[in-house]
Structure 1
Amino acid sequence: MRRSRTDRTSLHDHTELRVSVRIICCILVLGLLHVASSVFIPLAFALFTIALVAPVHHWLHLRMPAPLASLLTLLMTVAGLAVFLLLAGWGFSLIAQWIIVNAARLQSLFVLQTESLHPHGTMLMGMFLDNFNASWLLRAVQEIALRVNSMVGLFVLTIIFVALGLFELDGAAGHVENLLGRRSSRRWALAARQISSKLRRYMIIRTLASVLTGLTVWLFAMYAGLELATAWGGLAFLLNYIPFLGPLVATVFPTLFAFVQYETWQAALGVFLALNFIQVIYGSYMEPRLAGNAFSLSPLMVMVAVFFGGLVWGIPGVFIGVPVLITVMTALVPRRAIRRRSCGFPSEEVNDGKQCR
């Protein structure tokens, strides 16, 4: 009895030690990902992009030589990413021009509106006048320029990684088999196919939600009589790819524009509430439930992945957080289930007598 109790205590201590070591390793890995983010961010985006365009590469490879198929896939990928960047540059340039042109009008309208809030209006007006001025606008524009420059560098490095990956895609299975052996390579190949399939499905769901959001915002802006309705719809479509933070930006700027256009805070509040209602319907209700049903992810897990990715990698991490979560959850499928699938057995079937030869 005493020996059994001692064994249980030793087993408990060993389990605690293993858990502690795993936690320490996770913290060290997260620290490495944060410190070396300039390398890991474009690498993660490149792997994500390759997973999305792999079917196109395979289709082209069946009809032409492998180098030409890789080159055409790369050109189409660059063209698609360039469209998104041009759309972002077009939309934000319109916003920047509008802010510079209407800064004085916005400031005067704010002064008029806060004067009606006496005695609190004086304090709010003083805080606003101390911060909202030409130098503040200049700093904001400079900060946006720095962000754009960093995104351009990220884009270029990502394209380089994508090019290297596409030209190595055909021989990747052979390299993995030489490195890990046939049985292990089959398991990893199956996991890679599952991850790629889920990532493509995730992007289809997100693109559907983004298109619906952009169209609804455009229709609402047209109905409300907002100027630059097409720009607001395009930005809503684009920013919806960045969970939580993107929709916030897509609602704040039209609200400021409505405040200047209608010259009443009540109209601006109505626009803000309507845009947030649209974002909640598509971004916070429909999309998380579609993603959760497709990938067995709860909305809470999706939200944690988004904010945790932002904590480690900033705005790029906010976008890539959910794909990383999908990748990790798929890769953590029990090895037994992956082995049974690679042997041709259903994952739900339990048959201990059959072994993979």
Structure 2
Amino acid sequence: MLKAGNAALILIAGCVLIALLHYGSAVFAPVVFALFIIMLVWPIQWSLSLITSRYVALAITFLLVVFLLLGFGWLIAWTMGQVGSRILIDAVRYQMLYDQLRTWLEGHGIAASMLWSENFSVSWTLRTLQSIGSRLNNTFSFWIVALVYVLLGLAETEEFGARIRQLKNQAAANAFLRASRSASTKIRYYMLLRALMSIATGSFVWLLTRLMGLPFAETWGFAAFILNFIPFLGPLVATLFITAFAFTHFASWQLVLAVFIGLNIVQSVIGSVIEPRLTGKTISLSPFATLFSVFAWGALWGIFGAFIGVPITIVALTFCAHYSATGWLAEIFGFPREPL
């Protein structure tokens, strides 16, 4: 009875936590993003503090974060604007292709109109894109709040570490500090690897679309670069977008198929061959855990959740690996136990 009661309490607590994270996303998401940024840039601030004053190091690091976020945000906005404009220009062509596909399916006994008539149309697609655009425009407050947390967090990191070291339970304090350092190292390695793989993916997609004669090769390269930061889901979206555009540009279905196959080869070689070899045992997160992280956190926090989901899982499993009571959970998802 006692074990059953504990299991019920854990289940209830988990449901409450999920609901709290979902409905409190405006509060928790900026904090999580700020901690993520601090993990990435803290070594820069620490290195600068060795050669200059603490406050100068803080100012330089914070300005670097602001400039990087502005540059990445501008790149996302420019790429989405380019892709959105192409979809608007080719809207009539997409509607015609959809009508042809529906006619072909119904001619083969598949009632496509019953399945899609109310769920898909070009106007529905345009409304969806406009909705995404409006949500992106409303994220200004999110970035401001997150940057405030980043500034305060960078200013307090050393004091926070000192307070942890002064705890009476030195074993717990040392375990927390070891787990924090290990998690930060893994997050930095993961993002460095993700950036390199995204650059490689974007470059090869640009080269492929350029060789195939597809217009706006630079736009598709940047789109593949940005979307590759979201594992599994991002490359899939990039492939579908570029293939859909190829449908409106090429008259031959063989060329469209060649573009589709080429994109899949690029994504498969980089994502399934090169990247796992580079991650090795440092970030040996199982494919199931990676995919679940993307969709679960995406369901909680939208696009931002899909982006930050894998780093959150890496941090959580790293902490689990540093404690004997939860080490088994880390091993299930591919993380080795850390020395206590």
- TM-score after normalising by structure 2: 0.85
**Whose Rg is larger?**
1
Separation of aligned partners in 2, 1:275 and 1:83:
26
Aligned counterpart in structure 2 of residue 312 of structure 1, from 271, 283, 300: 300
Q: Residue 188 and residue 117 in structure 1: after superposition, are their counterparts in 2 closer, same or farther (change >3 A)? A: closer
- Residue of structure 1 in register with 2:250 after alignment: 262
1:86 to partner: Cα distance = 1.1
Q: Does 1:225 align with 2:221?
A: no
Percentage identity across aligned positions?
Answer: 37
Q: How big is the shift at 1:57?
A: 0.7
Q: Give the conservation status (yes or no) of the 8 Å contact 2:105–2:111.
A: no
Change (3 A) 1:221 1:50: same
Is the Cα contact below 8 Å between 1:50 and 1:165 reproduced in 2?
A: yes
Matching of residue 203 in structure 1 with residue 191 in structure 2: yes
Q: In structure 2, what residue type is equivalent to 1:93?
A: G
CA distance in 1, matches of 2:14, 2:113: 48
Residue matched to 2:321: 333
More deviation in 218-227 or 18-27?
A: 18-27
CA separation in 2, counterparts of 1:107 and 1:224? 24
Please say if residues 114 and 121 of structure 1, whose CA atoms lie closer than 8 Å, have aligned partners that are also in contact: no
The answer for the alignment partner of 2:262 in structure 1 is: 274
TM-aligned CA deviation for residue 154 of structure 1:
2.5
1:292 deviates by 6.0
Q: Given the alignment, which residue of 219, 226, 231 partners 1:238?
A: 226
Note closer, same or farther for the CA distance 1:325–1:111 as it changes in structure 2 (3 Å cut): closer
Tell me what 1:47 maps to.
35
Q: Say whether residues 1:153 and 2:141 are aligned partners.
A: yes
Alignment pair present for 1:298 and 2:280? no
* Structure 1: 5+ residue stretches without partners: 1-12, 338-346, 350-357
Aligned in 2, Cα 1:310/1:90: closer, same or farther, shift over 3 Å? same
Aligned equivalents of 1:94, 1:55: Cα separation in 2: 36
Q: Render the CA deviation track for 1:106-152: whole Å, top value 9, x for unaligned.
A: 4345556776778259976896799545x446523421222212433
CA contact (8 A) 2:106 2:112 kept: no
2:150 equivalent to 1:162: yes
User: Which amino acid is 1:240 matched to?
Assistant: N
What amino acid sits opposite 1:81 in the alignment? L
Match of 1:193 in 2: 181
Following superposition, the deviation at residue 286 of structure 1 comes to 3.8
Query: What CA deviation, in whole Å up to 9, does each residue of 1:264-294 have, x standing for no partner?
Result: 4443233223212322222345435644632
2:335 corresponds in structure 1 to none
Cα 1:315–1:87 change in 2 (3 A) is same
Would you say the 8 A contact 2:322–2:339 is kept in 1?
no
| 1:231-287 deviation per Cα after TM superposition (whole angstroms, max 9, x unaligned) | 111111111001222112211221122111113444323322321232222234543
Q: Secondary structure at the match of 1:227?
A: coil
Contact kept? 1:210, 1:240, Cα under 8 Å: yes
Q: 1:320 to 1:291 in 2, by over 3 A?
A: farther
Moved more, 38-47 or 141-150: 141-150
- Aligned equivalent of 2:65, options 70, 73, 77: 77
Q: Greater CA deviation, 312-321 or 111-120?
A: 111-120
SS in 2 for 1:295: coil
Change (3 A) 1:57 1:30: same
Would you say 1:144 and 2:132 are equivalent positions?
Answer: yes
> Which consecutive unaligned segments of at least 5 residues does structure 2 have?
326-337
Distance in 2, Cα, partners of 1:141 & 1:78? 27
Q: What's the counterpart of residue 83 of structure 2?
A: 95
Question: Does the CA contact (< 8 Å) of 1:109 and 1:263 recur in 2?
Answer: no
1:242 and 1:185 map into 2 onto residues whose CA distance is 34
The answer on whether the counterparts of 1:216 and 1:278 sit within 8 Å (CA) in structure 2 is yes
Q: From 281, 291, 311, give the equivalent of 1:323.
A: 311
